Amino acid sequence: MKYNFSNHRFTTLMVLLFFISFTGFGQENVAKKFKMLYKFNTIKQADNTRLLEVSFIARNKKNKKDKPPVFDAEIQFYNTTETEDILLGTAKTDDTGHASITVPASHKYTLDAAGYINLSAKFKGTDQLKRKSKKIQVKDIFLELDLKEIDSVKTVIVKAFTIDSLGVKIKANNVDVIISIGAMISKMKIEEATLKNGLYTFEFPTDIPGNIAQNIDIYTTIEDHDEYGNVIQKSNEKWGVYDSKELDSKNTLWSKYAPLWMYILLGVLLGGIWINFIYTLFQLKTIKKEGLTFEAENIPKT
């Protein structure tokens, strides 16, 4: 994937974003404290749609942890050619500074003479914030992921090909791919490979945990390739291992029944409360009885 950058110096920031910071200072002085980070990325997704995404962040030059997002900035995404810019869609940055569109798989891009799709993301700018623009060149590639049992062996088959101007499939060669599985937080890598003649086969491990139905998500990805950029493909199969054996029935904090010492402690605490309650009632009754006796003994005789 090839990047072309348009660098611009900024003399001010968005009034809405940095309103508090502007109090008592000139806008120009505030702007000098921040560097604008404008990033453009594209990912070809598992359904062959293409995600175009921009990240628009302001970073404090002294305190790099201070990264306020540029909010509500309108970003226009184009398929650029030598003669025109073809608008693919428009989106505004959210409260995290991200804006994105998804181009349908059926969309026909205009290519340059070398077969590249030229994409650009443009921010036209405002009175307070100057324009930004970035371009990406990427060639289209089709990634396939087949999961099959061959002679009782769970086999992952990865294929990749491009299509020339005549519609002929050309097998991709010497393309690095990563095979991973879906996990709770991020994907877990299980294999790295290089496609030879558009193909790579891999014996899937037999000890990968799955859910209760033994389903597992398997991914193959091309990451930051010089020509193809980022591509992802996904499939699902009942190849996961689910251990259904019962847990130890001993009383533990995470079992159905708590440890015995907790029951004893709770019983002692509740017993102490009830004893204190009964003792208090007994004392109140005694006090009342003594009060009545005192009154009877001290009533004046007539």
Here the CATH number for the domain that contains residue 25 is: 2.60.40
For residue 5, pLDDT over 60 is answered with no
Which domain-ending residue is among 182, 204, 237? Answer: 237
Assess whether 129 and 163 both reside in one domain.
no
Give the burial class of 123: count Cβ atoms within 10 A of its Cβ; 0-12 exposed, 13-18 middle, 19 or more buried. buried
* Count: domains in the chain: 2
Q: What is the pLDDT of residue 22?
A: 34
Report yes or no on 265 lying in a domain. Answer: no
Q: Which of 124, 125, 94 is nearest to 11 (CA)?
A: 125
Of 215, 237, 259, the residue that ends a domain is 237
Domain's final residue, options 96, 119, 138: 138
As a whole number, mean pLDDT of residues 220-236 equals 95
Higher pLDDT, 270 or 3: 270
Query: Is beta strand 34-44 parallel, antiparallel or unpaired with respect to 229-237?
Result: parallel
**Is 54 a residue whose pLDDT tops 60?**
yes
The secondary structure element, H or E, covering residue 180 is strand 175-181
Residue 10 confidence (pLDDT): 37
CA 98 to chain centre: 13
- The verdict on residue 248 lying in a domain is no
Please state which of the ranges 201-205, 245-249, 251-255, 280-284 shows the lowest mean pLDDT: 245-249
In the chain, what percentage of residues exceed pLDDT 90? 57
Identify whether residues 102 and 218 lie together within a single domain. Answer: no
176 shares its domain with 108? no
In sequence order, the β-bridge partners of residue 163 are: 169
Question: Which pair of tokens denotes residue 149?
Answer: 């049992």
Among the listed ranges 32-46, 74-88, 282-296, which one has the minimum average pLDDT value?
282-296
Domain that holds residue 165: 142-237
Residue 200 is part of a domain; what is its CATH number? 2.60.40.2470
Residue 255: band (very low, low, confident or very high) from pLDDT cuts 50, 70, 90: low
Same domain for 134 and 24, yes or no, is: yes
- pLDDT reported for residue 209: 80
Terminal Cα distance for the chain, rounded: 116
Between 70-74, 107-111, 249-253, the lowest mean confidence (pLDDT) is in 249-253
Contact 240, 215 (CB under 8 A): yes
Same domain, 101 and 162: no
Q: Are residues 109 and 167 in the same domain?
A: no
- Using a pLDDT cut of 70, give the percent of the chain over it: 83
Q: Does residue 245 form part of some domain?
A: no
- Between 48 and 215, name the one with better pLDDT: 48
